Structure 1
């Protein structure tokens, strides 16, 4: 899959389009086929190295919308429309700047 990855904090040149494996969701996590994601100040803070707890390289993006691609052990169905935001996206784990992302399923 194609993704935008931030190699390290710094200038916009540290963002690169890369090919990554499609992530596999563990039980309790949901793989989303991303259809759109937001661009906001949070990603700017991440890129500049001002966001806490970020490890690099990292796929940024604290929010996205799309459809469920896989959700083991969940009542979510493939093709179901979903939105995801925050909760570590783009900081603790890879976020929405990709064709697919994997996020925790919360109640």
Structure 2
């Protein structure tokens, strides 16, 4: 699964959206949010998703993604809800769908 797709699904699970991403960057609500956004929750904590430096992907890439397009629900609501599409199986697994973010650090 693409890391961006996985990240936007995880962001929805964690409650991070385009509306609150800046607040979460400043003060992550939990360690998983901090890891997703590449910011330390505790002083001196090492963060980031451990990408190979040769890939030129920074550990804060999800800050940019979520700031630009939001989480999976934000994207769905903006583009598909106006067309009359319901989430159905595209909802999070916790809401009766099949969307589940693969755990990553």
TM-score normalised by the chain length of structure 2? 0.25
Between Structure 1 and Structure 2, whose CA radius of gyration is higher? 2
Identify, as 1 or 2, the structure richer in strand.
1
More helix by share: 2
Greater RCO (Cα-Cα under 8 Å, separation 6 or more): 1
TM-score, length basis structure 1: 0.25
